[in-house]
Amino acid sequence: MNGENFATGLKHRAIHEFEEFGAIFLYLAFFFCALATHSMLLLKDFHVSYLAYGFAIFNALAIAKVILIGEYAHLGRKHESKPLFYSAIHKAFLFFLLALGFHLAEEMIKQFVRGIGPAAALHEIHIERLLSQSIIVFLTFIPLFLFRELRRIIGEEKFLDLFFRTGAKPRTAAAPQT
pLDDT at 174: 56
Q: What is the mean pLDDT of each run of 10 residues along the chain (178 residues)?
A: 73 89 94 86 69 87 92 89 92 92 81 78 74 88 94 89 74 56
Q: Is the pTM of this model over 0.75?
A: yes
Q: Which domain holds residue 34?
A: 2-164
Query: What total number of domains does the chain contain?
Result: 1
pLDDT given at position 52: 81
Q: What's the confidence (pLDDT) of residue 172?
A: 60
Residue 63 counted as domain residue = yes
The whole-number pLDDT of residue 163 equals 84
- Asked if residue 14 is part of any domain, the answer here is yes
Q: Is 17 inside any structural domain? A: yes
State residue 13's pLDDT score.
87
Rounded Cα distance between 15 and 12, Å, is 5
pLDDT, position 40: 79
Q: Is 77 domain-assigned?
A: yes
pLDDT of 109: 81
Q: Is residue 175 part of a domain?
A: no
Please indicate, yes or no, if residue 169 is contained in any of the structural domains: no
Whether residue 104 is contained in a domain is answered as yes
Distances (CA, A) of 98 to 55, 102, 127, 146, 166: 19, 6, 17, 18, 37
Amino acid 178: pLDDT: 52
Residue 48, class by beta-carbon neighbours within 10 Å (0-12 exposed, 13-18 middle, 19+ buried)?
A: exposed
- Looking at the domain assignment, is residue 170 inside a domain? no
- Compute CA distances 15 → 36, 40, 96, whole Å: 30, 36, 26
3-class secondary structure, 125: coil
